[in-house]
Structure 1
Amino acid sequence: MGTIVLTIIIGIVGVVAGIIIGKLIFAKDTRKQVEDAEQQAQRIIADAQMQSETLKKEKILEAKERFVQLKSEHDKEVIDKNRKIADIENRLKQKEVSINQKEVNLDKQLKDNESIKENLNRQLEVVSQKRTELEKHQEEHIRRLEKIAALTAEEARNQLIESLKQEAQSRALSIQQEIIDDAKQKANKEARKIIIQTIQRTAAEQAIENAITVFNLETDEIKGQIIGREGRNIRAIEAATGVDLIVDDTPEAIVLSSFDPLRREIARLSLQRLISDGRIHPARIEEVVEKTRKQLEEQIMEIGERTVIELGIHGLHKELVRIVGKMRFRSSYGQNLLMHSREVANLCGLMASELGMNPKLAKRAGLLHDIGKVPDEETELSHALLGAKLAEKFGENPAVINAIGAHHDEMEMQYVISPIIQACDAISGARPGARREIMQQYLQRIKELETLALTYQGVEKAYAIQAGRELRVIVEADKVTDNDSDKLSFEIAQKIQTDMTYPGQIKVTVIREKRAVNIAR
């Protein structure tokens, strides 16, 4: 490559020199000019030759350096490959030595196994001979016993098994009954003690929420302003609040009717503001109702935060705090939901302390157990499952989630606090005056209880007493035994628990009476 470049440079220089000489000749300048041109051309040629030699030497040096570099890299690769090959050969030699050693050990072990096998075969032959002799002796003894007892071996075995079975069953039943009675006595005593202590330490109001609110007026003249021209004001209030306003002859009073306490509270506060302001018209009504609704939302958060602080519960999600505050405006069977939840929380905390468990966790689960009753949107889930879903959504403890979902047996109880929440919920709902029922629903539930008991075979009569808290079942003594009475009581209780909805708990008592009547003539 260097030779080609050199040749090209010399050619270019020659052409340039020829052009210069030609120009000098054609120009017919003086000899001096010609000589100068010749000298200049010679200098250019000399410079070109010198540059070409320098370039040639540089290229040769670069080629030598590149060759040395490639050679060193090649030598390095050869050395690495040779080292790897040597390592592989060493490993193969080691493996070969190890395999040879294993083969030697295996041969030795096979020989040992063969000797052991021969010894075992000899021992098996001896055992087989002795077994044959033993079987002969056993058959001889069996024949003698059968001859003496006049029974075959199979018949004697069956009789012995049957007698042992009956004796074991009777003894097991008696022991089982003793254990159950003892356990019931101790468990009932301890449970009664803990529950009584817990209830005594918790005081709760028994006021029942109503479906109406009476709004007092200073004078009856204000009724006309509230009704408005052609009833437009009262229609606007009802449309904005969702509450029925009943304006009748009751002096200085208006009745606000709604099953939603939150709506009644919004309507009451809005009316109070409208009357104090004096401007009552549809546009003003909508403005006041909307402002009241926003302020009530802030009040709900304050109620929730105050409740959580009073109960000593920390780290609750703000959305759960809002739901707790919203409970203040919800009721269940006429019982205020927030009061019920607070009571359950206190009962759970006390009961957990008595049982040596975590009272804070139990109190947290007790407060949140009914959050599914105040959903922001309609859902097909029951309030227990919806509450568990909300608690899980806002990062609650798994024990709290399980206690919420299982307090009506709609989820399997997986933690110890779950039955405590269920028991405290029943205690709060079963307090006298805590809840109310419509008379028709109450009578229907009493009738269903008695009808359910009469469906069982051997039941003669059934009576629901103590306001439906106890079911007395009278059975026929000829058809139902004492043991069957316990089973019947358990089955009826389970049937009621799975098929019916009721507040508190129901005690099932089965009565079996045997009467022997004779007449002396």
Structure 2
Amino acid sequence: MKLATGVGPVAAVLSAGLLCLLLLSLAATLTVRRVRIARSRAVEEAERIRTSAEGHAAQLRAELDRREERLTEELRRLRTQEERLALRSAELDRRKSEVRALEEQSRSTLERTAGLTEGQARSELVRTIEAEARREAVVAVREIERRAKAEGEQRAREIVAGSIQRLAAEQTAETVVTAFRLPSEDLKGRIIGREGRNIRAFEAVTGVNLIVDDTPELVQLSCFDPVRRETARLTLEALVADGRIHPARIEEVHGRSQNEVERLCLRAGEDALLSTGLGDIHPELVRVLGRLRYRTSYGQNVLGHLVESAHIAGMMAAELGVDVEVVKRAALLHDIGKAMTHEVAGSHAAIGAELARRHGEADEVVHAIAAHHGEVEARTVEAVLTQAADACSGGRPGARRESVEAYVRRLERLEEIAGAHDGVAKVFAMQAGREVRVMVQPEVVDDLGAQLIAREVARQVAEELTYPGQIRITVVRESRATEFAR
């Protein structure tokens, strides 16, 4: 019994050992099988890669063979061209030698025939060319002098037109209504008065309509006569400052305001003389001239127009060598009759000429005033310059209200005239209508055609339009070539 008990544990140990050996043997067998499978797969993959590499190498060898064949063919073609060029170069050298020989033979023949050496022949040719050039120069100078005499009037106009660009004076457009701001809204009732007594008296004394509406602290003075309107403004200003507003006071203040306006007119006339550098003018003419401070012509202040005209006329006279003071006096006084047209019947040119004659102005000045609107034929240079200065000052863009629309229409017509020609791509009226720039299509119009277009446009503009000064026509023909570097 004891023996059997001792053998049991040993058998168990042996059985466990055998089991471990079997497991180890099984694991080794599985490992060997996996290794064999992996080796087989690796061999297959290597064989596939080798096959692919061999195919790619074959393709590369074939491509290299084809390129080598093409390069060989190109090299053969280049060698053929090189041989041809060498033959042509040899032929050219041979022909050059023949030409040199012929030139030497011809030169020798000419020298024997003419009895002159090469240097002598060259000197003779130079003398002949110089004589011909001198003769052509004399002919050209005579032609230029003839044209200068024939086109003297045109050249004078160009000088006159260029002078107006040196002056840039401002003009203020006047209206027929003056706004007057009150210190307080309560003054409207005092201005109107009981049952409108004060406003009726104010309008009867001043001749100006006084408009009192719902606009806060504001009344309006309406009258076509700017002198009366300014007198009424000063009257109302004094009444409001004093505070006493009744019919008798209105008449008293209005009388003082008239004297104040006369004083302002005299000062305005003196300022105009100072601005233009003129003196020794009759005091009555100065007073009448100052009254134009409150008068307008188509929205342009007349006194400002006269001062501007005097400056333009003076610059033009200086350019032409004419007496500057006489021309400036004529231009400054040419519209002085507008200050008296409501007092004397007749045109302002005739009235102004008679007024200047009565107050001792020179005959040249009187004639220029009378002729500045063409009512009398202009017989002197001073009269012509006065007309030109008047047209330049009144005709420039923005000087007069009615001129703005005509100015725009003139610009549009300029572009229409230039754009009507064949080959014109774009037209731009520039420099306030003093220049027209025409862009032509270079493939349609050549250089000669561009010159013809410029001349034709200038002719049409001169025939169809009325404008002060001159208009410059510039035709631009431009060719462009564009490429991109990549």
TM range (shorter): 0.5 to 0.7
Provide the C-alpha distance between the structure 2 equivalents of 1:485 and 1:204, rounded to a whole number of angstroms.
Answer: 31
- 2:401 aligned residue: 437
Task: Please state how far the C-alpha of 1:308 moved relative to its aligned partner.
Answer: 2.2
3-state secondary structure, aligned to 2:400:
coil
- How do 1:209-288 residues align onto structure 2 when only pairs under 5 Å count? 209-288=174-253
Q: In the TM superposition, what is the alpha-carbon distance from 1:206 to its structure 2 partner?
A: 2.6
Q: 1:23-422, aligned counterparts within 5 Å? A: 179=147, 183=151, 186=155, 190-196=159-165, 198-199=166-167, 203-375=168-340, 377-422=342-387
Task: Check whether the contact 1:469–1:505 (CA below 8 A) recurs between aligned residues.
Answer: no
Name 2:391's counterpart in structure 1: 426
Deviation at 1:218, TM superposition (A): 1.1
CA distance in 2, matches of 1:341, 1:251: 38
SS of the residue aligned with 1:418?
helix
Residue type of the partner of 1:355? L
Question: The residue matched to 1:414 in structure 2 has which SS?
Answer: coil
Which residue is 1:500 aligned to?
none
> Counterpart of 2:391 in 1: which secondary structure?
helix
- d(CA) in 1 for partners of 2:463, 2:345: 30
* Amino acid corresponding to residue 306 of structure 1 in structure 2: D
Q: What amino acid does structure 1 have at the position aligned with 2:305? A: H
1:20: which partner in 2? none
Deviations 1:332-385 (A, max 9, x none): 111111111111112222221222221111111111010011106444421112
Distance 1:190 1:394, change over 3 A: closer
* 1:209 CA displacement: 1.4
Retained in 1: the 8 A contact 2:397–2:404? no
Q: Aligned residues, how many?
A: 317
Question: What stretches of structure 1 move > 6 A for 4+ residues in a row?
Answer: 441-447, 484-493
- Identify if the C-alpha distance between structure 1 residues 420 and 263 changes in structure 2 by more than 3 Å, giving closer, same or farther: same
The 8 Å contact of residues 301 and 322 in structure 1, kept in 2 or not, is answered as: yes
Structure with higher RCO (Cα < 8 A, 6+ apart) = 2
Whether the 8 Å contact between 2:160 and 2:316 is mirrored in structure 1 is: no
What is the CA–CA distance in structure 2 between the aligned matches of 1:305 and 1:350, rounded to whole Å? 21
Shift of 1:190: 3.8
The alignment's TM-score, normalised by the length of structure 2, stands at 0.53
CA distance in 1, matches of 2:470, 2:276: 31
SS at 1:246 equivalent: strand
Contact 2:397 2:407 in 1 (8 A): no
Relative to 1, partners in 2 of residues 1:238 and 1:505: Cα closer, same or farther, differing over 3 Å? farther
Shift, 1:444, TM fit: 10
Deviation at 1:237, TM superposition (A): 1.0
Structure 1 residues 378 and 491, CA gap change in structure 2 (3 angstroms) = farther
CA deviations on 1:173-212 (whole Å, 9 max, x unpaired) are: xx99x9499838855654444443x43xxx4113211221
- What CA distance in whole angstroms lies between the structure 1 residues aligned with 2:159 and 2:358? 37
Give the residue type in structure 2 aligned to 1:398. D
Q: Offset at 1:427?
A: 1.4
| 1:227 and 1:233 in contact (8 A); partners too | yes
SS at match of 1:316: coil
Amino acid at match of 1:432: P
What is the alpha-carbon distance in structure 1 between the residues aligned to residue 275 and residue 458 of structure 2? 46
> Structure 1 CA distance, aligned partners of 2:200 and 2:469?
45
Identity in percent: 45
User: 1:350, 1:442 → 2: CA distance?
Assistant: 26
1:105 alignment partner in structure 2: none
Cα-Cα RMSD: 4.7
Q: Distance in 2 between matches of 1:432 and 1:288?
A: 41
C-alpha distance in 2, partners of 1:357/1:351? 8
Cα deviations across residues 8-54 of structure 1 (Å, max 9, x unaligned)?
xxxxxxxxxxxxxxxxxxxxxxxxxxxxxxxxxxxxxxxxxxxxxxx
Question: Displacement of 1:485 after TM fit?
Answer: 12
Counterparts of 1:188 and 1:442, CA distance in 2: 24
Aligned-residue offset at 1:295 = 2.5
Q: Is the 8 A contact 1:469 1:506 kept in 2?
A: no
Aligned partner of 1:436: which letter? Answer: R
Report which stretch shifted further, 374-383 or 403-412.
374-383
Q: Supply the AA of the counterpart residue of 2:360.
A: G
Q: Gapped runs of 5+ residues in structure 2?
A: 1-142, 413-428, 435-455, 474-486
Q: What amino acid does structure 2 have at the position aligned with 1:359?
A: V
CA distance in 1, matches of 2:215, 2:345: 41
CA contact (8 A) 1:243 1:256 kept: yes
Letter in 2 for 1:183: E
| Structure 2 letter corresponding to 1:335 | Q
Q: SS at 1:245's partner residue?
A: strand
Deviation, structure 1 residue 283: 1.2
Residue 241 of structure 1 deviates from its aligned partner by 1.1
Taking a change above 3 Å as real, the CA distance of residues 420 and 186 of structure 1, as seen in their structure-2 partners, is closer
**Could you list the runs of 5+ residues in structure 1 that have no partner in the other structure?**
1-174, 451-464, 471-483, 498-503, 510-521
The residue that corresponds to 1:32 in the other structure is none
- Displacement of 1:490 in angstroms is 7.8
